[in-house]
Amino acid sequence: MSVSARRRFRMLVAVAIAMAALSSAVTSRYVLSTLIFIALNAMAALGLSLVMGFAGQVSLGQAAFYAVGAYVSGVLTASFGWNGWAALVLAVGAGALLALAIGLPIFRLSGLLLAMATLGFGIIVYYVLVNWSGITGGPSGLTGIPPLALGRFRFDTDQRMLWLAWSLLLLLLGLAGNLVDSRVGRALRAVHGSEVAAEAAGIDTLRLKLGVFTAAGATTALAGSLYAHYLTFINPSPFGFAYSVELVVMVVLGGVASIWGTVLGAAAVVLFVEALRTGLPLLTASHGAPEYEIVAFGLILMGFVVFLPGGLASLRKTP
Amino acid sequence: MTPLLEVRGLWKEFGGLTAVRGVDFVVEPGQIKAMIGPNGAGKTTILNVIGGALPPSRGSVLFEGVALPRERPHAVAARGVARTFQLVRLFGEMTVLDNVLVGCHRRGRSSWGACALRTRAMREEERRLRQRAETVLVVVGLEERAALPAAALAYGEQRLVEIGRALAMEPKLLLLDEPGAGLDPEEHRRLARLVRTIRDGGTTVLLVDHHMEFVLELSDEVLVLSYGEKLAEGPPRAVRADAKVIAAYLGEEAA
Amino acid sequence: MTLLEQLAQYLASGLVVGGIYALIGLGFVIVFSVTRIINFAQGEFVMPGALLMVTLGDRRLATPIAFLLAVGVVAGVGALLERAIHPVRGAPPLAILILTIGASIAIRGGALILWGTDPFALAPFSPGPPVWLGGAMIVRQGLWLLGIAALAFALLWVFFTRTYAGTAVRACAINPRGARLMGIRVDRASLLAWTLSGALGATAGAVIAPITYATYDMGLMLGLKGFVAAVLGGLVSPLGAIAGGFLLGVLESLAAGLVSSAYKDAVAFVVLIVLCLVQVAGWIPWRVAEEA
C-alpha cells in the first residue's frame, strides 16, 4: 500500500473507533443527532468538494440531489412498500442519472453560466417537489418512512444510525481518497492544474468533469436517502437554495478538493448553526437565532474567500 | 510512402486578422522538421490547429492519411500526436514524476471503480506506469528531480518535464513549440541532443523555433513562414540561401 | 372575458412585471460588462430599496424624497460592495461569485435583523383606481413603474452616450486594457458601475413595493429573474437585458394565466436552462459573453 493510502487507512480506523466509542458511551439524543447530521452533511458535501476542487465548477443546486435521494427513498418505502436497501440503491442511482442528465448539456458552459444553470436546476427540482403533491405530499411532505433494517435488526435508534452513517461516510472517504491517489485522481489533479495541458496529454476533460459531477450526485443522494430513513418524515423546505449554499459554505470552509477538509467544513457548519441556535437567544431577545446565522454565514463566506481561499485544510500544509 | 502529417490549404482567420494563409506542407515519418519565421508568422497558430486547440477556417490536416479531429485535443492526442507549449504548462503542485505520469494516462486502463478499490490489477498497472515514467525521466535527464514539485524547478528544467510528459505518451509525432526559448547555448546543445535521441527512438518531430543556428543544425527540413504564408521549404542549406528568406529576416538590401 | 381580452390582460400585467426584471437585468449587465463579475447580490439591492421606502414612508417623508434617499443609500451599498471586492478582483471568477453570494446572504441577514420577517405594505405613489388600457386593467402603481423605468433607461442612455464619464465606462466595458492605455481610470468605472447597479436595483424595489409586499427575502427570486433577463441579452447588451426583462415578464404572465400559477416562478429557470442549452448546442447564433 502506498504511504498515503496507509496513512489514510489509519486515520479512518481511528475515526471509526472514536465513533464506535461515542455511539455506545453517549446517550444524549442531542449530541448523537448532531453527530449524525455531521456525517450526512459531510457525505453530501464530499461530492461537491470534488466537483469544486477538480472539475473547478461551483454547483449551486446540489441540494436537489439531496432531495432526490430523500424523496426517492421516502416515496418508494413509505408509499410503495419497497425494501429500504433496494430503495436506497435506486435513490443513489437516481441521483447519478439526474447528475448525468443535467451535466451533459451544461458542462460545456463556462464556469459562471454553469453555476447559474445548476442554480436554476436546483430551484426547478424544489418546485417539482413542492407542487407534485400526489407523489411527494407537497409542502407538508411525506411521513411514515420506515427505518432501514437488516433482517430483525432495525436502524431505528440514534446509536444505530450514528454507526451506519459514519460507517458509510468513512467508507466513502476511503474510496474517494483512493480515487484521488490513483491514475484517475492524477488526471483530476491535472485538469485542476491546467486544463489545456491535461487535454493535450490525452485526458478527456469533459468526460472527467461529468464523471465527478455524477459521482457527486450519487453521494449526495445517498446522504439524502439516509436522512429520510433517519427522520422518518421529510418535506421540501430543507432542500431549497439555502441548503445548496450551505453545502458550498462547507466545502469552502473545509478547503476544496480536500477530503478530510470537507468533514471539517461540515462539522464546522453544523456546530456553528447549533451554537447560534442555543447561544444567541441568551444574548439577544429579538428575532431568534436562525436569522443571525444567515448574516454570519455570509460574512464568513466572504472572509474565507478573501483571507483563506484554501479553506481550513490549507492550514495543515506547511508554508 | 504516405507522409505522417499532411497540412493542406490551411487558412486561419481571427475576426479581421488572417494568421495563416493557404499553407501546405508535409512531414515525413522519421523526420525532424522545423517551422521558422518572424513573430506573428503563424507558427504557433498552425501547431494549435494541428493539436486540435483551434479549428481551421479552411483547409485540412491529415495524420497518417486520416483527418485529425477538430477542437478535441484529447482525441488528437489519442491518435499519437503530443505537444509542448510556448509558455510551459505544468501541473505546478504535482511532482515532476507525477507530471510525467499524467502523460501515461492513456496507457492505463483501470476504471474509476478499480481505482477507488485499489484492486491488484490497478496497483500492478500503477507500478508499470511509474516505471515507464521513470524511464522517460532518465531520457530527459531529470531522474534526480523526480520527487520535487514541478514548480520548484528552473525554467529550462520545467521545459524538459513538459517534453517528458509528451514523451510518456509514446507519440508518433511530437510538436515542440519554441522548446529553446529562454535557454542558454549549452542548454540548447543538450536540447538538440535530446531531440535527436527522440527521433532516433522512432518519434517524428515538428518543431517551431526562432534560433536559426539551432534549427539549421538540427533539422532535416525547414519550413519558413512569414505573415502566415509559406516562403520556402527544403533542406536547411537551401533555405538559408533562399533570397526570399534572407529578405524576410534581414531586409531587402541584404538579399 | 374573451380569450383576446385575457391575452391583453396577461400582456399588460406581464409588461409591468417585466419592467422590474428589465431594471434588475440592466444592473447585472452594467456590472458584468465593466468588471466581468456576476453580482449575485443584485437582488439584494432591490430588497432594501423596498424596505427603506416603507420605513421612510412611516417617518412621513414625502414619496419623492423617500425614493431618492432609498436609492441613494442602496447605491452607496453597491459602492461599498465594490470596494470590498476590489482587493481580490484578480481572483478566479468562481471565487468572486462565491464572494457575492456571501455578500447577498449578509445583506439579507442584515435586513432580517432590521426589519424581521413580516411583510410590509406601502401605499402606491398616487392614489386611485386601476386604469383601463385597451381592454386590460393596470394598477396605477404599474404605470408609475413603467414610467420610472422608462425614465431610468432614458437617463442612463443619455449618460452613457452623451457624457464623458458614461462613454469612459462604455470604453472599459468594451476593452479595459485599451481604455486604461487611453488614461481612463478603470477602477473608477468599476465603482461607478456598481453604484449605478445599486441605484437600479433600489429603484426596482421602491416601485414594486406597493404592488407586492416588501419582505426581507424578496430579493432572491427577483434577483435571479433579473439575471435571466440579463442572460437573454447575452449579459453584455443593455437593450438586450431590457427586452429580455419584458419578454420574461410576459412569458411568466402567460404561463401563470394559461397553464398554472403554481409554476409561475419556475418559468424563469426553465428559460435559463433552455438558454444554456441553446448556447451549448449552437442552434441559433446567440451567445452569452465569456469571462474576459
Q: Which of A108, A115, A291 sits opposite C97 (nearest CB)?
A: A115
| B/A touch flag: 3 or more CB pairs below 8 Å | yes
The three cell numbers locating residue A81 = 412498500
- pLDDT higher than threshold 80 for residue A291: no
Put simply, whether the predicted model's pTM sits higher than 0.95 gets the answer no
Give residue limits of the domains in chain C.
3-281
**% of chain C beyond a pLDDT of 70:** 96
Q: What confidence tier does B255 reach under pLDDT thresholds 50, 70, 90?
A: very low
Residue B78 contacts A, CB cutoff 8 Å: yes
C93 to A301: CB separation less than 8 angstroms, yes or no: no
pLDDT at B230 over 60: yes
Count of alpha carbons within 13 angstroms of residue C141, beta-carbon side: 18
pLDDT of residue C50: 93
Q: pLDDT tens, A12-36?
A: 888 888 888 887 787 888 888 899 9
With beta carbons less than 8 A apart as the criterion, state whether C241 and C230 touch: yes
d(CA B83, CA B166): 6
Give me the residues of A, 108-127, that contact C with CB < 8 A.
108-117, 119-121, 123-124, 127
Helix spans in C122-233 (H): 140-162, 164-174, 176-181, 186-208, 218-232
- Check CB contact of A29 with chain C, cutoff 8 Å: no
Cβ pairs A/C, distance under 8 A: 135
Any CB–CB contact under 8 A between C148 and chain A? no
* pLDDT mean over B95-119: 90
pLDDT for the residue numbered B250: 64
- Which of B239-248, C63-72, C139-148, C243-252 bottoms out in mean pLDDT, i.e. has the lowest? B239-248
Banded pLDDT at B251 (limits 50, 70, 90): low
Nearest chain A Cα distance for residue B105, angstroms? 7
User: Which chain B residues touch A1 with a CB distance below 8 Å?
Assistant: 118
CB nearest to A127's CB, from C96, C104, C266: C266
Report yes or no for ipTM above 0.90.
Answer: no
Mean residue pLDDT across chain A: 85
Of the pLDDT bands very low, low, confident and very high (cuts 50, 70, 90), residue B253 is: very low
Interchain contact, C91 vs A300, CB within 8 Å? no
Under an 8 A CB cutoff, do A57 and C94 touch?
yes
Amino acid at A4: S
CB-based contact (8 Å) between B91 and chain A?
yes
Convert the pLDDT of each residue in C13-50 to its tens digit.
899 999 999 999 999 999 988 888 889 899 999 999 99
The C-alpha atoms of residue A69 and residue A67 are separated, in whole angstroms, by 5
> What is the average pLDDT across B97-114?
90
Separation CA C203–CA C217 (nearest Å): 17
Compute the distance between CA of residue B83 and CA of residue C96 in angstroms, rounded to an integer. 33
Best mutation target among B105, B126, B176 (most A Cβ atoms within 10 Å) is B105
Which has more pLDDT, B250 or B41? B41
- Going C42 to C44 to C46 to C49, the CA torsion angle's sign is negative
* pLDDT value at residue A208: 92
pLDDT for res A290: 54
Average pLDDT, chain C: 86
> Given this model, what pLDDT does residue A286 score?
46
The CA-CA-CA angle for residues A244, A248, A252, to 5°, reads 170
pLDDT in tens, C215-225: 888 888 899 89
C-alpha radius of gyration, chain B, whole number: 19
Cβ distance B108 to A183 less than 8 Å, yes or no, reads: yes
The pLDDT value recorded for residue A279 is: 65
Mean pLDDT of B232-246: 86
Q: Is the per-residue pLDDT at A179 higher than 70? A: yes
Question: Which residue would you say has higher pLDDT here, A277 or C164?
Answer: C164
pLDDT score of C242 more than 70: yes
Kindly state the average pLDDT of the residues A117-141. 86
What digits encode the pLDDT tens for the residues C100-115? 888 888 898 888 888 8
> Could you tell me which of A283, A123, A297, A251 has the C-alpha nearest to residue C107?
A297
So what's the pLDDT on residue A204?
92
Q: How confident is the model at residue C283 (pLDDT cuts 50, 70, 90)?
A: low
- B abuts C (3+ Cβ pairs < 8 Å): no
Show residues of chain C in contact with A252, CB under 8 Å.
98
Read off the DSSP letter of residue A288. -
Q: Which of C6, C14, C77 is nearest to C47 (CA)?
A: C77
The answer to whether the CB atoms of B91 and A204 lie below 8 A apart is no
> In this predicted model, which residue has the larger pLDDT, A258 or A63?
A63
